Amino acid sequence: MFPWSGELEIVKNTNAYTVDEVKRILQKATDLNLEMIPLVQTFGHLEWILKFEKFRAYRDDDRYPQVICLGNKKAMDLIKMAILQVVEIHLPYGISHFHIGADEAFQV
């Protein structure tokens, strides 16, 4: 689990890695010549954010917390914030690819 901060801190799991633990994992992967490909879901699979009342207005359909509304600027700003947090930690170790998910948005 990622150590989210700022506005996303409320979605951080109680057993999330610390920033230092993530950095140690990334360093070990680098030492072993393993390529780490970070992933942030950007369309579907977003119940980890959208289940929270604070972010409910960002749902594409209020009945389902899986899919974000791509036309909602605040929702997109939140996704960008998540991407930036992941990139900031991974960048010193190199990023050649970034996985944006964007699948299984069935409730659109």
- Give per-residue pLDDT as tens, 53-93: 999 999 999 999 999 999 999 999 999 999 999 999 999 99
Cα–Cα distances in angstroms (integers) from residue 66 to residues 38, 41, 70, 95, 101, in the given order: 20, 10, 13, 27, 12
* pLDDT at 104 (0 to 100): 80
b/e for 25-49, b at 16 or more Cβ within 10 A? ebeeeeeeeeebebebbbbbbbebb
* pLDDT at 52 (0 to 100): 96
- Is the pLDDT at 108 greater than 80? The verdict is no
* pLDDT at 84 (0 to 100): 98
* pLDDT at 105 (0 to 100): 76
Give per-residue pLDDT as tens, 3-57.
999 999 999 999 999 999 999 999 999 999 999 999 999 998 999 999 999 999 9
* pLDDT at 106 (0 to 100): 74
This prediction's pTM: 0.90
Q: Which residues are catalytic?
A: 104
Could you give the CA distance from residue 74 to residue 34 in angstroms, rounded to a whole number?
35
